[in-house]
């Protein structure tokens, strides 16, 4: 194989070759330091092939500023830790290629959650609170069936449909992109409503529409949604959030009558 | 001093830790969980392809049984596994999967009738029995006699973890997020809890508990190329090691997964090959049948990874600017199958490679994936050498996997071990040993030690970046303590790791940012990671044989005569290296005596007890004794299970089990 062929195959595999300098502007703030005020800090780095924001931020921390705070866990787009505002739009940093971004690019922490520092926010506490309020687990007597017994059968299509909605990774992008969530602190958001839609679909869950109405039949629940559908636009897992909210709203409206 | 009391303290919010917590909670104990990250972000979520349990619902799974799952696991382990543990595990795995089904996991289900699938590169039709319609289905994975890996598309771990985590919320189990265990509080004999650091504001907290359970997962991040999450730095195992009492088992047993995406090392599931995907070389040639005619792409991971590297060394790799790799071809599975059953793989390929695997080949090369070793425990999950300390899941060397884990056995182990260890540690709390000894002074001393240690990073002698030293360690491990190992390179690896440890202990940080301070975090984790790396490298150097994932080019044979034993690493306080000792694995109590695995190398040196034990087993068979009575004579295990998990598993096609 000639060098050109290798290069051609390489390019096909690893995306367009890129090089040169790239500027990242990071909104920095350390709430643990009462003197500290939010400020933009500019970093310049050498672009390498296949460089993601994960690789870039890790390199910045290693070579330029060891105090830079951000969260990555899986770095493969499946755990939801690294959601942040990338040029104002919520997204997962780990799977964002620098080559797809303009220079300079601005990074800011996700709004709607408590700031831990720089690009790190506390989505965990928010999500746990949502789970407790909406009781996001299967309710029913059969949850305690003897596990030595044959499992209860389920239609294959039903199981697949549940998984479609269960692919949510609780990254917080839908909350950051939501008009209602910015105004109404207790709004459960698309993440919460999608979760309830998932349990609504699940024949193992014994709750009826009345029980769901008690959980989301108000302005902090499904009636708070203004149908701006920012959630649907930014969901990294492409969940059908608009459809699910509309479905739930119809069921709950019927329940209210 | 900020002090929190609880009955049971679980360190780690992944599948193993949460299931243990739920078990203990249901036994009436107060339980608290610490987690580095929100629990649902634990690395359990990254398990893609499946969980092994011998349900036997499918056409290709019929005839499966606990005994066959047990045997596959032991062969996979290259006879390093504890066979009692493997039996307890295989017996409980179907219960684990059914419990999760009742709690909400949307396992993919059997659809009655004809299905097209790909086996050995050919499209074939399989017919599923109408009786099994709607029961949990399974796909093929490596090193198994039946199709046994139950799955939720390729987001199996994600669904399991979300269900488990929501169940923990349902049972009101608090999870203290972003809390890092820094040291075990320990009086030399007994563990009484941990000193933890709040990763948001930097404060130290003492957690005092009657029983402490470490479920912090593996330590893949001591390697440069790893499928592991960033948080898998092995801190749970490391702080156990630092007590100088608990020991780490088989640290040299490191698994490399055949299909890490090249060069990033992001995992694509074994389900790709289980569903019919093939490995190709630079010429587009399918090479695995040349090396492994029996199992081909679906031999165990250690064997496939080694064959891939061997093939690259023979000049058949695909050259690229990042180095050489091979191809994974799943195009033959079809776009619909990929979209339905391998969609995470499709997403990963789209975002990280810019390709659609339904149309293009995936560049792959083996990457560090799993730590078979960890905190050595007995079958109850209680740490050897330190009472009151338990461990389960990847953090532990329980020892289910020996020297190689089968695909689909890790998520299965997390839940099963959580179920069993949760009960055993509750038994411990309810026993005479279970009371919490007077420990306030002990806790205060431990906390002061940690404070002093953290302060030392402001006054150290060497202004060096802990992150740079960490990279040096990772590169060294990947290059010298990888798939192919040799005495000479291992020796230099050990020396360099020791030198790095010296430097790591004299660090001075560049800044002193208040609060979380990521530089400080890197600084205090570094010596702990180096200690783990030294246990791996020294264990690998000392073990002059090849077994499972541990392959020595200078000692290519498995040697049961001298090495049918588990490595135990102890780190005495103040020492600059681990001291190794060995625990014999007793052939005379085995149900399955050492032999050929059914794939991989055929030559090995026998243990002198192997013929004797073979005779024993033959004699028992000749008496005609069957079923439970036979099991009692060979390897009794049922009485060791917690009472709630002793019932035999119901199976749709019962009576068809074969071995």
Any idea which fold A135-139+153-256 has?
A: Fumarate Reductase Iron-sulfur Protein; Chain B, domain 2 (1.10.1060)
Run of H or E including B115: strand B113-119
Residue B644 per-residue DSSP state: G
Interatomic CA distance for residues B378 and B181, integer angstroms:
23
Strands A114-117 and A120-122, by their bridges, are antiparallel
Six-digit token pair at A113?
């959650």
- Mean pLDDT of the residues in chain A: 92
Reference B563, options B405, B402, B409, B401; nearest CA is B402
Summarised one tens digit per residue, pLDDT across range B87-105 is 999 999 999 999 999 999 9
What is the percentage of chain A residues whose pLDDT exceeds 90?
87
Three-class SS state of B252: coil
Q: Which chain B residues are closer than 8 Å to A14 by Cβ?
A: 320, 322, 353-354
Q: Does residue A220 belong to the interface with chain B, where contact is any CB pair within 8 Å?
A: no
Q: What is the pLDDT of residues B3-50, one digit of tens each?
A: 999 999 999 999 999 999 999 999 999 999 999 999 999 999 999 989
Is-cis flag, bond preceding B167, omega within 30? no
Of A151-165, A230-244, B506-520, B602-616, least confident by mean pLDDT is B506-520
Q: ipTM, 2 decimals?
A: 0.94
Rounded CA separation B240/B213 (Å) = 11
Residues 164-203 in A contacting B (C-alpha not used; CB under 8 Å): 166-167, 169-170, 202
Closest-approach residue (CA) in chain A for B109: A156
What integer is the mean pLDDT of B206-219?
Answer: 98
Q: Quick check: B102 and A145 CB within 8 A?
A: yes
Retrieve residue B165's tokens.
């985590």
Tell me if A14 and B353 make a contact (CB, 8 A cut-off): yes
Q: Is it the case that residue B124 has pLDDT exceeding 50? A: yes
CB contact under 8 A, A152 and B101: yes
Distance from C-alpha of A153 to C-alpha of A144, rounded to nearest angstrom: 16
Q: What is the pLDDT of residues B419-431, one digit of tens each?
A: 999 999 999 999 9
Which one of A30, A52, A76, A154 makes the best mutation probe of the B interface by having the most chain B beta carbons within 10 Å? A76
What pLDDT sits at residue B658? 61
Owner of token pair 């002090």:
B3
> Reduced to 3 states, what is the DSSP secondary structure of residue B130?
helix
Closest CA to B264 of A49, A33, A228, A217: A49
What would the mean pLDDT of A210-236 be, rounded to a whole number? 96
The Cα–Cα gap between B6 and B436 comes to: 10
Please report which confidence band the pLDDT of residue A18 belongs to, taking 50, 70 and 90 as the band edges: low
10 Å Cβ neighbour count for B541?
21
Identify the residue among B102, B353, B517 best suited for mutation to test binding to A, counting A beta carbons within 10 A and taking the highest.
B102
In Å, how far is A225's CA from the nearest CA of chain B?
25
pLDDT-based confidence at A256, cuts 50/70/90? confident
B407 in Cβ contact with B84 (< 8 Å): no
Question: Please, what sign has the CA dihedral across residues B136, B140, B143, B146?
Answer: positive
Residue A114, SS3 per DSSP: strand
Q: Which residue has the tokens 């659809």?
A: B111
Domain range list for chain A: 3-121, 135-139+153-256
Chain B residues within 8 A of A170 when measuring between CB atoms: 38, 40
Q: Give the pLDDT mean for B112-131.
A: 94
CA-nearest residue to B47 within chain A is A78
Q: Which residues of B touch A149 (CB under 8 A)?
A: 98, 650
Q: What is the β-pairing status of strands B396-397 and B565-570?
A: unpaired
Residues 146-165 of chain A whose Cβ lies under 8 A from any Cβ of chain B: 146-156, 158-160, 162-163
Q: Is the pLDDT reported for residue A10 higher than 80?
A: no
A77 sits in the region (left: phi over 0; alpha: psi -120 to 50; else beta) called left
Q: What is the DSSP letter of A110?
A: P
pLDDT band at B458 (very low <50, low <70, confident <90, very high): confident
Question: For residues B350-371, b (16+ Cβ closer than 10 Å) or e, as one string?
Answer: ebbbbbebbebbbbbbbbbbbb
Can you tell me the mean pLDDT for A127-132? 97
Is position B257 annotated as part of the catalytic site?
Answer: yes
Average pLDDT over residues B632-638: 96
Q: Is B564 left (phi over 0), alpha (psi -120 to 50) or beta?
A: beta
Q: Give A14's pLDDT tier (boundaries 50, 70, 90).
A: very low
Please list, in sequence order, all residues whose beta carbon lies within 8 angstroms of the beta carbon of residue B183, skipping any fewer than 6 positions away: B194, B195, B239, B242, B446, B449, B450
Pick from B466, B459, B539, B540: which is nearest to B501 by CA?
B466
Residue B487 contacts by C-beta under 8 Å, 6 or more apart in sequence?
Answer: B541, B544, B552, B554
pTM, two decimal places = 0.96
- Assign B321 a pLDDT band (cuts: 50, 70, 90): confident
Confirm or reject contact between A253 and chain B (CB < 8 A): no
Q: Which of B146, B273, B341, B558 is catalytic?
A: B273
Q: A83, A33, A31: which is closest to A54 by C-alpha?
A: A83
pLDDT value of position A8: 44
Distance CA A152, CA A232 (A): 34
Tell me what pLDDT residue A12 has. 42
Decide if A207 touches B, using CB distance below 8 A. no
Lowest-confidence region among A221-230, B280-289, B438-447: B438-447
Measured distance CA(B517)–CA(B199) in Å, rounded: 8
> Considering chain B, what is the average pLDDT of its residues?
95
Confidence of residue B504 (pLDDT cuts 50, 70, 90): very high
pLDDT digits (tens, 9 = 90+) for B333-376: 999 999 999 999 999 999 999 999 999 999 999 999 999 999 99
Rounded Cα distance, B226 and B185, in Å: 31
Nearest CA in chain A to B321: A10
pLDDT at residue B554 above 50? yes
Task: Reduce the secondary structure of B340-393 to three states and give it as a string.
Answer: HHCHHHHHHHHHHHCCCCCCCCEEEEEEEEEECCEEEECCCCEECCCECEEECH
For residue A1, name the pLDDT band (cuts at 50, 70, 90).
very low
Is-contact B578 B107, C-beta < 8 A? no
* CB contact (8 A) between residue B348 and residue A135: no
CA angle in degrees (0–180, nearest 5) for A220-A225-A226: 135
Q: Which fold has domain A3-121?
A: Ubiquitin-like (UB roll) (3.10.20)
β-strands B51-52, B254-261 pairing: unpaired
Spell out which residues of chain B touch residue A136, defining contact as CB-CB under 8 Å: 166, 169
pLDDT at A6 over 50: no
pLDDT at A16 over 70: no
Helix (H, G, I), strand (E, B) or coil at A42: strand
Q: What angle do CA A102, A105, A107 make, to 5 degrees?
A: 150
According to the model, what pLDDT value does residue B529 have? 98
Contacts of A12 in chain B (CB under 8 A): 355, 360
Which chain B residue shows the shortest CA-CA distance from A159?
A: B106
Three state DSSP letters for B151-177: CCCCCHHHHHHHHHHHHHHHCCCCEEE
d(CA B111, CA B96): 22
Q: Is the predicted pLDDT of residue A105 greater than 90, yes or no?
A: yes
Per-residue pLDDT, A7? 42
Q: 3-state DSSP helix/strand/coil percent for chain A, to nearest 5?
A: 45, 15, 45
Beta strand B362-371 with B323-329: parallel, antiparallel or unpaired? Answer: antiparallel
């Amino acid at each position: 194989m000639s060098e050109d062929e290798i290069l051609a195959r390489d390019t096909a595999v690893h995306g367009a070759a890129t090089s040169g300098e790239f500027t990242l502007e990071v909104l920095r703030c350390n709430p643990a330091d009462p003197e500290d005020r939010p400020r933009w800090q500019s970093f310049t780095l050498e672009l390498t092939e296949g460089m993601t924001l994960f690789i870039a931020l890790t390199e910045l921390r290693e070579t330029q500023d060891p105090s830079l705070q951000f969260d990555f866990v899986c770095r493969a787009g499946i755990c939801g830790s690294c959601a942040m505002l990338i040029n104002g739009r919520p997204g997962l940093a780990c799977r964002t290629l620098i080559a797809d971004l303009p220079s300079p690019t601005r990074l800011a922490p996700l709004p709607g959650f408590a700031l831990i520092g720089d690009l790190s926010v506390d989505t965990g506490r928010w999500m746990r609170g949502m789970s407790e309020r909406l009781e996001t687990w299967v309710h029913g007597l059969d949850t305690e069936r003897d596990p030595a017994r044959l499992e209860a059968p389920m239609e294959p299509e039903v199981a697949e449909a549940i998984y479609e909605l269960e692919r949510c990774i609780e990254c917080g992008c839908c909350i950051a992109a939501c008009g209602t969530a910015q105004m109404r602190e207790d709004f459960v958001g698309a993440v919460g409503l999608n979760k309830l839609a998932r349990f609504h679909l699940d024949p193992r869950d014994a709750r009826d529409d009345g029980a769901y109405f008690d959980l989301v039949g108000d302005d902090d629940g499904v009636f708070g949604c203004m149908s701006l559908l920012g959630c649907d636009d930014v969901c990294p897992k492409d969940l059908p959030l608009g459809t699910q909210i509309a479905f739930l709203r119809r069921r709950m409206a019927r329940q209210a009558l | 001093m900020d002090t929190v009391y609880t009955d049971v303290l679980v360190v780690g919010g992944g599948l193993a830790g949460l299931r243990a917590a739920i078990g203990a909670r249901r036994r009436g104990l107060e339980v608290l969980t610490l987690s580095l990250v929100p629990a649902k972000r634990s690395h359990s979520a990254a398990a893609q392809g499946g969980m092994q349990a011998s349900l036997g619902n499918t056409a290709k799974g019929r005839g499966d049984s606990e005994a066959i799952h047990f045997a596959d696991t032991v062969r996979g382990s290259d006879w390093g596994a504890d066979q009692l543990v493997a039996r307890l595990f295989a017996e409980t795995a179907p219960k684990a999967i059914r419990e999760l089904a009742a709690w909400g996991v949307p396992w993919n289900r059997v659809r009655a009738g004809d299905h097209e699938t790909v086996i050995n590169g050919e499209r074939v039709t399989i017919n599923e029995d109408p009786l099994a319609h709607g029961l949990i289905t399974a796909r093929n994975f490596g090193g198994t006699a039946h199709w046994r890996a139950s799955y939720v598309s390729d987001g199996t771990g994600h669904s399991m973890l979300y269900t488990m985590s929501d169940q923990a919320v349902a049972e009101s189990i608090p999870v203290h997020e972003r809390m890092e265990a820094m040291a075990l509080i320990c009086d030399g004999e007994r563990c009484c809890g941990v000193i933890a650091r709040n990763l948001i504001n930097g404060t130290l907290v003492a957690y005092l508990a009657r029983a402490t359970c470490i479920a912090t997962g593996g330590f893949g991040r001591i390697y440069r190329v790893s499928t592991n999450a960033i948080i898998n730095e092995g801190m749970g195992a490391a702080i156990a090691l630092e007590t100088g009492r608990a020991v780490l088992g088989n640290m040299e047993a490191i698994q490399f997964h055949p299909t890490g995406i090249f060069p990033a090392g992001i995992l694509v599931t074994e389900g790709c090959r289980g569903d019919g995907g093939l490995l190709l070389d630079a010429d587009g040639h399918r090479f695995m049948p040349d090396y492994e005619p029996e199992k081909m792409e679906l031999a165990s991971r250690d064997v496939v990874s080694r064959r891939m590297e061997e093939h690259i060394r023979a000049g058949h790799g695909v050259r690229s600017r990042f180095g050489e790799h091979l191809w994974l071809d799943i195009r033959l599975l079809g776009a619909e199958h990929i979209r339905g059953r391998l969609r995470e793989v499709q997403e990963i390929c789209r975002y990280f490679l810019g390709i659609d695997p339904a149309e293009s080949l995936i560049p792959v090369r083996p990457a560090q994936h799993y730590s078979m070793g960890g905190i050595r425990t007995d079958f109850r999950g209680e740490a050897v050498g330190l009472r009151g300390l338990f461990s389960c899941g990847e953090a532990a060397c329980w020892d289910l996997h020996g020297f190689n884990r089968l695909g689909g056995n890790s998520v299965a182990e997390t839940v099963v071990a959580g179920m069993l260890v949760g009960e055993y540690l509750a038994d411990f709390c309810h026993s005479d040993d279970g009371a919490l000894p007077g420990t306030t002074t002990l806790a205060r001393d431990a906390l002061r030690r940690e404070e002093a240690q953290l302060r030392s990073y402001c006054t150290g002698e060497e202004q060096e970046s802990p992150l740079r030293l960490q990279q040096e360690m990772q590169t060294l491990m990947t290059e010298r303590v990888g798939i192919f190992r040799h005495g000479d390179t291992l020796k230099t690896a050990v020396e360099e790791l020791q030198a790095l440890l010296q430097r790591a202990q004299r660090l001075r940080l560049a800044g002193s940012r208040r609060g979380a301070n990521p530089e400080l975090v890197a600084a205090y984790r570094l010596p702990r990671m180096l200690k783990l790396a030294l246990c791996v490298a020294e264990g690998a150097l000392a073990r002059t044989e090849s077994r499972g994932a541990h392959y020595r080019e200078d000692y290519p044979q498995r040697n049961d005569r001298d090495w049918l034993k588990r490595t135990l690493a102890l780190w005495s306080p103040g020492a600059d290296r681990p001291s190794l000792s060995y625990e014999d694995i007793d052939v005379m109590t085995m149900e399955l005596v050492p032999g050929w695995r059914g794939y991989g190398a055929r030559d090995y040196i026998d243990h002198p007890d192997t013929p004797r034990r073979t005779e024993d087993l033959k004699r028992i068979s000749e008496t005609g004794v069957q079923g439970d009575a036979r099991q009692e004579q060979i390897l009794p295990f049922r009485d060791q299970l917690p009472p709630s998990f002793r019932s035999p598993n119901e199976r749709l096609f019962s009576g068809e089990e074969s071995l």
